[in-house]
């Protein structure tokens, strides 16, 4: 058996690139493999990003025999061993949506991944439009890395590529924000399909149909994943939500009551921090919206 990395899953086949000394060589061709029946009996399934043991068959294809231990696992998108989530939100077309950005960040924090925020389409910002700068200032104060980019003008793309070196990264964001355009800029010659923005709907068509790892020339891999139209909180407990707002942590530990919801309790340090401006109004407002959404879902289910 040989060790390999699953770089694509499509129609019941897994495309595995051989690993040499724990690394993928760009010169290696992916081997089309089927998974052994034992995985189905166990209720397991190989995922893109999995390091696996595989064996070659007589017809030049292969069989996935063993899934090696995972460092992380995402359900949606189904990717294993990702260490970095790259969240893309555009200045315009579609307009910046901080509510959706915060929802993504909650899910990423819950999954235990690092996250960076890419503000795309800076070329569409008009003179005096400080949207990108304001968003950058807000989220850097929370503790996130923020990059302002433009695929058309080449702004920020090299810095982003350097940040992705050696990582399996998951690109996610609203449809039409320019994920494919940015990947094409990071890896010239990739020619991923891009979509025009529907001006009537204010969003793009989904251009990515399956999960696939795109190999960069610096040891990094990017999972180009389908855009999300919605995210729900069914897998997240109400008591876990505040933990996913990282700026709450230092204040929450000082709250008078254990299990404080940070909404009305006396002695809540999070509320004090919000009132003093140490926690941004928009972030706290979104926390309350998510809390209400989660309670509504729990009542329905």
Domains of the chain: 2-69 (2.40.50.140), 79-224 (3.40.50.300), 238-300 (1.10.40.50)
Whether 298 has a binding-site annotation, put simply, is: no
Average pLDDT for 12-21: 91
Whether 176 has a binding-site annotation, put simply, is: yes
Gap between the Cα atoms of 113 and 66, Å rounded: 25
Burial zone of 6 (CB within 10 Å; 0-12 exposed, 13-18 middle, 19+ buried): buried
Tens digit of each residue's pLDDT (9 = 90 or more) over 54-90: 999 988 899 999 999 999 888 777 889 999 999 999 9
Whether 259 has a binding-site annotation, put simply, is: no
Whether 217 has a binding-site annotation, put simply, is: no
Whether 178 has a binding-site annotation, put simply, is: yes
More confident residue, 240 or 300: 240
The residue whose two tokens read 């795309």 is: 120
Q: What integer pLDDT is reported at residue 209 of this predicted model?
A: 54
Whether 121 has a binding-site annotation, put simply, is: yes
Q: How far from the centroid of its chain's Cα atoms is residue 301's Cα?
A: 27
The sign of the CA dihedral 203, 135, 152, 167 is negative
Gap between the Cα atoms of 71 and 60, Å rounded: 30
What percent of the chain has pLDDT above 70? 88
Contact 223, 78 (CB under 8 A): no
Whether 260 has a binding-site annotation, put simply, is: yes
Give the pLDDT band (50/70/90) at residue 112.
confident
Whether 177 has a binding-site annotation, put simply, is: yes
Whether 17 has a binding-site annotation, put simply, is: no
Whether 33 has a binding-site annotation, put simply, is: no
What percent of the chain has pLDDT above 90? 59
Whether 120 has a binding-site annotation, put simply, is: yes
Gap between the Cα atoms of 13 and 152, Å rounded: 35
Q: What integer pLDDT is reported at residue 178 of this predicted model?
A: 87
Who contacts 46 (Cβ-Cβ below 8 Å, separation ≥6)?
A: 6, 9, 14, 35, 39, 52, 64, 67
The sign of the CA dihedral 83, 89, 90, 94 is positive
Burial zone of 171 (CB within 10 Å; 0-12 exposed, 13-18 middle, 19+ buried): buried
């Amino acid at each position: 058996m040989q060790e390999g990395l699953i770089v694509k899953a499509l129609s019941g086949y897994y495309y595995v690139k051989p690993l040499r000394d724990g690394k993928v060589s760009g010169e290696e061709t992916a081997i089309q493999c089927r998974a052994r029946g034992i995985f189905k009996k166990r209720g397991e399934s190989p995922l893109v990003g999995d390091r696996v043991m595989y064996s070659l068959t007589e017809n030049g294809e292969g069989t996935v025999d063993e899934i090696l231990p995972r460092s992380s696992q995402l359900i949606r998108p189904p990717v294993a061993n990702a260490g970095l989530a790259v969240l893309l939100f555009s200045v315009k077309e579609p307009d910046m949506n901080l509510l959706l950005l915060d929802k993504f960040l909650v899910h990423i924090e819950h999954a235990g991944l690092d996250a960076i925020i890419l503000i795309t389409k800076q070329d569409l910002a008009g003179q005096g439009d400080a949207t990108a700068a304001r968003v950058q200032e807000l989220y850097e104060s929370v503790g996130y890395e923020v990059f302002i980019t433009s695929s058309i003008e080449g702004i920020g793309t090299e810095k982003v590529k350097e940040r992705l070196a050696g990582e399996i990264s998951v690109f996610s964001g609203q449809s039409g924000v320019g994920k494919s355009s940015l990947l094409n800029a990071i890896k010239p010659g990739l020619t991923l399909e891009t979509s025009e923005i529907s001006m009537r709907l204010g969003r793009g068509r989904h251009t990515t149909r399956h999960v696939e790892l795109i190999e960069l020339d610096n040891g990094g891999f990017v999972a180009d994943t389908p855009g999300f139209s919605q995210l729900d909180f069914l897998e997240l407990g109400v008591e876990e939500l505040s933990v996913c707002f990282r700026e709450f942590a230092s204040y929450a530990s000082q709250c008078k009551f254990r299990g404080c919801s940070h909404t009305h309790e006396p002695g809540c340090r999070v509320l004090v921090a919000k009132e003093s401006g140490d926690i941004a109004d928009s972030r706290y407002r979104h926390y309350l919206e998510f809390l209400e959404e989660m309670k509504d879902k729990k009542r329905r289910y």
